[in-house]
């Protein structure tokens, strides 16, 4: 009998206690973010205003790219495809904003955001900080081909024409070399890109 009344009392007390908890929550401001109308401003991991290192859409400042292919190699899902073309003998592409000399045309720089796993591993090796993540997380499209982002400087036909020009120039150089027996430049047949990367870090 005593336990009956104790249970009854406990029931009343706990109901009132739970109602008190609910009543307190009526006065706590809501945590809802009204998404399409309000957006959370994303702070970069490294606090940088220009190059935001959140895990969202990748962006390449192609003018700063030296075609070192380090991001392509770092990518675990191989969503970055880069093709470079050597400069013609007389061409000077200038320097990047980080004072790295640019020695290659970056003809093709495609990022397939369909495959990207947002790991950010491509960002760290970049010697010129040209590949980075933006704070844009809303880039849904109706056509999945649109998620293949082209950052390259040339179209297919331009790249093909450039290659023909380069072959032409190399052939001429070889002929000239054949005429003069002296060997001056040993670096010609080697690929230039990997050296560039190791040179890096300004």
Partner 1 sequence: MMEELTRAMVQWFPFLADVPADLLLLAASVMAAVAILLLITVYVLAANWGERKVAAHAQDRLGPMVVGWHGWAQAIADALKLLMKEDIVPRLADKKLFVLAPVIVFASSFVAFAVLPFGEGLVASDLDIGLFFIIAVTSMITVGIIMGGWASNNKWSLLGAMRSAAQIVSYEIPVGLAVLTVVMMAGSLNLQEIVGAQEGGFWNWYGFPLRNPFTFVAMIIAFVGTLAEVNRTPFDIPEAESEIVAGYHTEYSGMKFAYFFLAEYADMFLFSALLTVLFLGGWHGPFGDAIPLPGPVWFLAKVLFLVFVQMWMRWSLPRLRVDQLMYVSWKVLTPISFANIFFLGLWMVM
C-beta of 23 vs 141, nearer to partner 1: 23
Helices (H), the chain: 2-26, 70-74, 156-179, 193-199
**Closest distance of CB 18 from partner 1, Å:** 4
Three-class SS state of 24? helix
Answer whether 138's CB lies under 8 Å from 94's CB.
Answer: no
**Closest distance of CB 39 from partner 1, Å:** 16
**Best CA proximity match to 61, nearest among 169, 133, 144:** 133
C-beta of 14 vs 155, nearer to partner 1: 14
Q: At residue 97, what are phi and psi to the nearest 5 degrees?
A: -70, -15
C-beta of 20 vs 95, nearer to partner 1: 20
**Closest distance of CB 1 from partner 1, Å:** 12
**Best CA proximity match to 66, nearest among 194, 190, 167, 187:** 194
**Closest distance of CB 135 from partner 1, Å:** 25
**Closest distance of CB 43 from partner 1, Å:** 24
C-beta of 12 vs 161, nearer to partner 1: 12
C-beta of 31 vs 178, nearer to partner 1: 31
Please report, for residues 43, 102, 135, 162, 177, the alpha-carbon distance to residue 37 in angstroms, rounded to integers and kept in the order given.
Answer: 19, 43, 17, 48, 67
**Closest distance of CB 41 from partner 1, Å:** 20
C-beta of 30 vs 178, nearer to partner 1: 30
- Binding footprint of partner 1 on the chain (CB under 8 A): 4, 8, 15, 18-19, 21-23, 25-26, 28-32, 34
What the block records as the tokens of 115 is 């495959």
As a three-state string, the secondary structure of 81-123 is EEEEEECCCCCCCCECCCCCECCEEEEEEEEECCCCCCCCCCC
């Amino acid at each position: 009998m005593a336990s009956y009344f104790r249970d009854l009392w406990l029931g009343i007390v706990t109901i009132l206690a739970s109602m008190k908890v609910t009543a307190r929550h009526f006065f706590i401001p809501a945590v809802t973010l009204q998404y399409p109308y309000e957006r959370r401003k994303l702070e970069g991991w490294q606090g940088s205003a220009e190059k935001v290192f959140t895990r969202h859409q990748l962006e390449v400042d192609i003018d700063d790219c030296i075609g070192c292919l380090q991001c392509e190699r770092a990518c675990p899902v191989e969503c970055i495809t880069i093709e470079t073309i050597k400069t013609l003998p007389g061409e000077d592409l200038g320097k990047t904003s980080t004072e790295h000399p640019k020695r290659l045309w970056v003809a093709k720089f495609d990022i397939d955001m369909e495959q990207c796993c947002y790991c950010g591993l491509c960002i760290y090796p970049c010697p010129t900080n040209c590949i980075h993540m933006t704070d844009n997380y809303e880039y849904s499209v109706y056509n999945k081909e649109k998620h293949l982002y082209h950052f390259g400087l040339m179209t297919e036909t331009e790249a093909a024409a450039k290659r023909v020009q380069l072959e032409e120039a190399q052939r001429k150089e070889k002929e000239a070399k054949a005429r003069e027996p002296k060997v001056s430049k040993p670096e010609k047949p080697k690929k230039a890109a990997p050296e560039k990367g190791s040179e890096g870090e300004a």
